[in-house]
Amino acid sequence: MTIGSKLAWDDTVLPFQLDLSDIRGRVARLDGALNGILSQHDYPEPVEALVAEMALLTALIGQTVKLRWKLSLQVQTRGALRMIATDYFAPEKEGQPARIRAYASFDASKVTSAPAFGQLEGGYFAILIDQGKGTTPYQGITPLAGGSLAACAEAYFAQSEQIPTRFALNYGKVMNADGSGEWRAGGLMIQSMPKASPFAQGGGSGDGGLLRAEDLVHGDEEENWRRVNFHVDTVDELELIGPDLPPTDLLVRLFHEEQPRVFDAQPVRFGCTCSEDRVRQSLSIYSAKDIQKMTTPEGLVTADCQFCGAHYELDPETVGFEAKK
């Protein structure tokens, strides 16, 4: 595999619909965007894997939000990995790329050789949608359960939206001949489009009584859902991240009998919205005592962006230091 070559479907999200089964979905590839996210930090391998999974989920889910909206995914836990935060910034205009960023907070002394999801303990998985100024952000929360972040996202859609949802993801670091490595990630998302909301009542069949996709489909919808999931089960991990199979060919291989129809692909880039003005605004809420702790011997207030690593040095007076004395 030649890592250095840029492929037409790298860093894209391709929406599609299966007309025969009334199921919609997206195929995503994150390559340069994911490397942009992970290269900002020196994460242990299990943390890198969780951030990669979270970023891929964010791209797959975020493609549906409207122009200028922001979608965020968050994980909060009591385990070695305390938090993961991702943001998907929808394009300002049609045809422009979306931007994605992510970071994790963790206790290095508690990270073990256990599988990535084992670094999490308790806590929750949340999805937030910000429609912009003058609106109240939407937030939905589900427990961390099911053995993967993808399973948590499936549970969120079942519980909060009552939309049957399935993810198939693959991600990992591909090694170059010189010993360096780069991340590649690919995923598939499908959702049933019920003619009416199922409004499932009572406990579900998932962990702790959580609803699962299978609890929400009945009759013809159930048959369609089972049939399409059977095809998803046949996807090979290399088909999701390898360079030899374009997403359109993958859809034909998996779903040719379901009459797949694709729409315009959405390009995705690593990007951060931090700026000196935003940092100054966020620091203005701190007390003079807190600002003093952030001030260097040279009299400058320093701050680092957790997403992109940008370093800022500010005059204390510009963040309200004098006013709070």
Tens-binned pLDDT, residue by residue, of the chain (325 aa): 333 456 778 999 999 999 999 999 999 999 999 999 998 889 999 999 999 999 999 999 999 988 889 999 999 999 999 999 999 999 999 989 999 999 999 999 999 988 999 999 999 999 999 998 888 889 999 999 999 999 999 999 999 889 999 999 999 988 777 777 889 999 999 999 876 555 555 668 778 788 888 888 888 999 999 999 999 999 998 999 988 889 999 999 999 999 999 999 999 999 888 777 777 776 766 677 777 777 888 888 877 777 877 777 777 777 665 434 4
Buried b (16+ CB within 10 A) or exposed e, 283-310: beebeeeebeebeeeeeebebebbbbee
CB 129 within 8 A of CB 137: yes
d(CA 169, CA 29): 10
The pTM of the full predicted model, rounded to 2 decimals, is: 0.86
CB 75 within 8 A of CB 150: no
Q: What size, in residues, is the chain? A: 325
What digits encode the pLDDT tens for the residues 241-286? Answer: 988 889 999 999 999 999 999 999 999 999 888 777 777 776 766 6
Task: Give the closest residue to 308 by CA, choosing from 262, 261, 274, 263.
Answer: 274
Q: How many CB atoms lie within 10 A of CB 94?
A: 7
What digits encode the pLDDT tens for the residues 70-83? Answer: 999 999 999 999 99
Angle at which helices 247-255 and 219-232 cross, to 10°: 120
d(CA 168, CA 154): 11
Q: Which domains does the chain have, with CATH numbers?
A: 12-270 (3.55.30.10), 276-324 (3.90.1280.10)
- CA 199 → CA 52, 128, 153, 164, 206, distances in Å? 33, 22, 19, 12, 16
